[in-house]
Amino acid sequence: MLLQTVRPNIVQAIRAYRVDDLMSAAQEAGQHFLYANLSEAQSKQDVLDSIASSFLFPQHFGKNLDALYDCMTDLVHKAGSQPGFIVVLEQIPDNPRFDRESREQLLDVFRDAADFWAERKIPFRCFYSFQ
């Protein structure tokens, strides 16, 4: 099984993993699969809009990094027990409007979410790639 080779709470580059394989692994494990293709995004706001749309966040989503963290943690946690998560952020922008610092801030939100879920003994694996 694919997930046996990946730590349960991690944010890492997608590297050799295929999105379809990760989706299948999530289904086999009964975990949530959250996927966002960010290839059309150019700015931080575009990235947040794409993630919110792809992950079906509520209309009141604040479209900032704090709100992203809240949606990935508290909002889901309050919905009841969770089986685990596989998150894929594909084609994160790499341009002057979404620079290295912006990318690291985004990934830090997912690292913090991985820590949140680790404290609750729930797997949270996030895979990403850059444009």
Question: What confidence tens digit (pLDDT) does each residue in 79-90 have?
Answer: 777 899 999 999
The model's pLDDT over 38-66, given as tens digits with 9 standing for 90+, comes to 999 999 999 999 999 999 998 888 889 99
Band the pLDDT of 101: cuts 50, 70, 90.
Answer: very high
53 within domain boundaries = yes
Whether 2 is in a domain gets the answer no
Say whether pTM exceeds 0.85: yes
Does residue 15 form part of some domain?
A: yes
What the block records as the tokens of 118 is 């680790």
Nearest to 129 by CA among 26, 53, 16, 45: 16
Helix or strand (DSSP H, E) at 35: strand 32-37
Expressed as residue numbers, the domain containing 49 is: 8-123
Question: Where does the pLDDT of residue 26 fall: very low under 50, low under 70, confident under 90, or very high at 90 and above?
Answer: very high
| Residue 128, in any domain of the structure | no
- CATH number for 63: 3.30.370.10
CB 4 within 8 A of CB 125: no
Angle at 82 between CA 27 and CA 59, to 5 degrees: 95
Q: What is the mean pLDDT of the chain?
A: 93
- The answer to whether position 18 is within a domain reads yes
What number of H helices and E strands is found in the chain? 5, 4
Specify if 3 maps to a domain: no
Residue 129 in any domain: the answer is: no
* pLDDT category of residue 3 using cuts at 50, 70 and 90: confident
Give how many domains the chain has, as a whole number.
Answer: 1
* Within a domain: 13: yes
